[in-house]
A = this chain, B = another copy of it.
Amino acid sequence: MKRIAVLASGNGSNLEAILAAIADGRIQNARVVLVISDKEEAYALVRAQKHNIPTRVFRPQDYPSREAYDRAMIEFLQAEAIDLVVMAGFMRLVTPEFVAAFRHRIMNIHPSLLPAFPGTRGVADALAYGVKVTGCTVHFVDEGMDTGPIILQEALPVRPDDTVDSLQERIHALEHRLYPQAIDLWVRGKIKIRGRRCCIDE
């Protein structure tokens, strides 16, 4: 049984999608055993509590540096024997030490077809650029900003009358389908990493 920690800063709708996938068997042999946030007010924490999942808040202001912050989190995750760290709207860049401690065991989801439109404004940037196709990306986290090996991507057409909100809504729906798929592949050992390419071994 793989032990998953979900890191979230906000609403936690991807957390909810992952829990639903575990509940209905789309992800087997894994449990979300911990939800961590950097924000006490994150609604993801409320969702976790509703599912009786232990939560923990790591407040940045309680630590002297990013390194100290991440080190505390690494120790806690290791003490909890976490196999996979799933970032679901976690709005902090992790340190190289965090990446090294969980190499190819940290996933993130991003609302664009990376490497296009990295960063915190993926949807708005894509819309402003005027792309006709965007989408969403699940990737392993490496030392860069949204640069790690890509596990899954799916495309979505931008509509002529799209706003950031309308486009975001469709991308969210895609995320909620794609993230559980990627986690399931990882749990079943179906992802082989060669250089920076992930080969899915279905």
Contacts and interface: CB of A to CB of B under 8 A. Distances in A.
Given A116-B113, A116-B116, A149 B130 contact: yes
A135 B155 contact: yes
A150 B128 CA distance: 11
Contacts of A50: none
B200 A160 contact: yes
B132 A153 contact: yes
A197 B152 contact: no
Contact of A135 (B130, B133, B198, B200): B133
A131 interface: yes
A154 interface: yes
Most buried by B among A160, A199, A200: A160
A115 interface: yes
Given A116-B115, A116-B116, A153 B129 contact: no
Interface of A: 113-117, 128-133, 135, 149-155, 160, 195-200
